[in-house]
Amino acid sequence: MTYASAEQMFLHEARVVARLRHPHIAHVYDFWSDDDGPILAMEYVHGVTLAALLDEVDEPPPIAHALHVVGAVADALAHAHDACDEDGTPLGIVHRD
């Protein structure tokens, strides 16, 4: 698909991501464009990033915690990769999305 502008590409990507419903993917509530450019209204997820958390500790997390995080990420990625539209057509989401 070719886009005339970065804004059109943003809005297309927002439409695709807004279809995803998964506990480990932040929900997109709405998206639009105004005079300031494209806007994406997403779920607020309270907390710190994994990188920030790891910077605060002296040793790696227990293997069980690390495996839980990796499993949750893999489950969310599988959900995105398998996502289809209402007609059952794959959305074609890849990791970069």
Give the active site residues: 97
**Complete DSSP assignment for 20-42:** ---TTSPPEEEEEEETTEEEEEE
The Cβ of residue 8 has, within 10 Å, a number of other Cβ atoms equal to 14
Strand partners, 28: 42
